[in-house]
Amino acid sequence: MDLKDKKVLVVGMAKSGIHTVKILNKLGAKITVNDIKKENELGEILSEIKNICSDFILGKHPENIDKFDLIILSPGVPTDIEFVKRAKEKKIPIIGELELAYRLSKGKYIAITGTNGKTTTTALTGEIFKSAGFETFIVGNIGIAAISKALETDENSVLVTEVSSFQLETIKDFKPKISAILNITPDHLNRHKTMENYIEAKTRIFMNQNSSDDIVVLNYDNIETRNLSKKVKCKTVFFSRREKLDEGVFVENEYIVVKLDGNEEYICKVDEIYIPGNHNLENALAAVAISYSYGIKKEIMQKILREFKGVEHRLEFVDEIDGIKFYNDSKGTNPDASIKAIEALKGPLVLIAGGMDKGSSFDEFIDSFKGKVKTLILLGETSNKIKETAIKKGFNNIFLVNNMQEAVTRAFNEAQKNDIVLLSPACASWDMYKNFEYRGRHFKDCVYNLRRS
């Protein structure tokens, strides 16, 4: 992809946007940076790129787009805003950071998406590939932009990539060797508007996979993902926690079993997997399906499944104070993710939830309490919405707080010995925090402050 002297507009200065600018500069492009935030709001972000880019449109979107040869959108930028529509009408190419990374990379992509479990499955799969001796880059929505590693790859590299629906909206040629859709439940409806649009965005992950060597891994237990197999143009590998499959990866007699291409192998016992919960068993099944399909030996998978301790902000044990355990599940950014966290822990639970409203319903979230959640502490813009749902469902032990420090202090005061304080917001973080990582780290800081108080 020859970008030398091409006039490129980069929209959105989040992490991927900064890396995109740096790579474009290396390739000799003439870059214009655009962000709806003003210079004083972007602060130190601009300092990273001011020495390599001098053309900025800040505080608004560009009015004149005719001069640009290419527009690159960061994942957080909606594709239906006015100037993007005009660019499409003028047939100016529009891609995202993931598509740019794909075009510049020489390695093979393993792409993993789904409403929940993406980060854990990506990290777990990446560790298996590393242990198998592949030059492995664990990238994407997991926190390391794929574009930042694109030029470091060669033909033997593997990029194990967590992919969001936002990123998939702007792919064109992106074609992974193996793709996986772990599950689909309602999420991001404030952006995608309908479930149909959300599902359509997810299916783009396999839209270019069409050869007998390409593989799509799907969750048999999730009806939405199971039905997607009808749209797949290459080989499908199912995984299931609940069903014994004629072909695929499943659980039998408390073992993870692979039955593919006439071969049958027992990988390891379910209780040998280090990370707890049925949702993590599903993540492990998906990682095994991907790894086995790539030709990785079962001994390597066994070792990593027994050793892998999970990822930060996903059911992460933080501390135990006066017999009360604290868990950080800030990655629980939708109701289904938080339901899985509640189900994975034994309780009793003092639950901290709330955040930005993505248009989700909280009925099933409250239903999942089932006597396990004894106290609900709410913060953020969804506080009253969740409270109203809880009261409607007959749950009344609720406290509204203004910030995380108040939430943690209240939770500690309400909890008793052998209780668990769980942060699992069931909402996005953007009403109060830059991202879920900042929220999770603030929670951990607040817990550590309890020891000092």
Are 178 and 288 in contact by the 8 Å Cβ rule? The answer is no
> How far apart are the C-alpha atoms of 23 and 134, rounded to whole Å?
24
Residue 115 marked in a binding site = yes
Q: Name every residue whose Cβ is closer than 8 Å to that of residue 63 and which is 6 or more positions away in sequence.
A: 83
Count of CB atoms situated within 10 Å of the CB of 149 = 21
For every residue of 233-267, DSSP letters joined together read SSEEEEEESSS--SSEEEEETTEEEEEETTEEEEE
**CA-based nearest residue to 287, from 108, 123, 114:** 123
**CA-based nearest residue to 21, from 164, 158, 145, 171:** 145
Residue 440 marked in a binding site = no
| Token duo for residue 400 | 């509204």
298-307 vs 278-293: helix crossing angle, rounded to 10: 150
Residue 116 marked in a binding site = yes
Helix (H, G, I), strand (E, B) or coil at 181: strand
Amino acid at 1: M
> How far apart are the C-alpha atoms of 255 and 271, rounded to whole Å?
9
> How far apart are the C-alpha atoms of 402 and 410, rounded to whole Å?
11
| Token duo for residue 74 | 């960061």
Alpha-helical segments (H) within 404-435 = 404-414
Residue 384 marked in a binding site = no
Residue 28 marked in a binding site = no
Summarize the annotated binding site for ATP as residue ranges: 114-120
Summarize the annotated binding site as residue ranges: 114-120
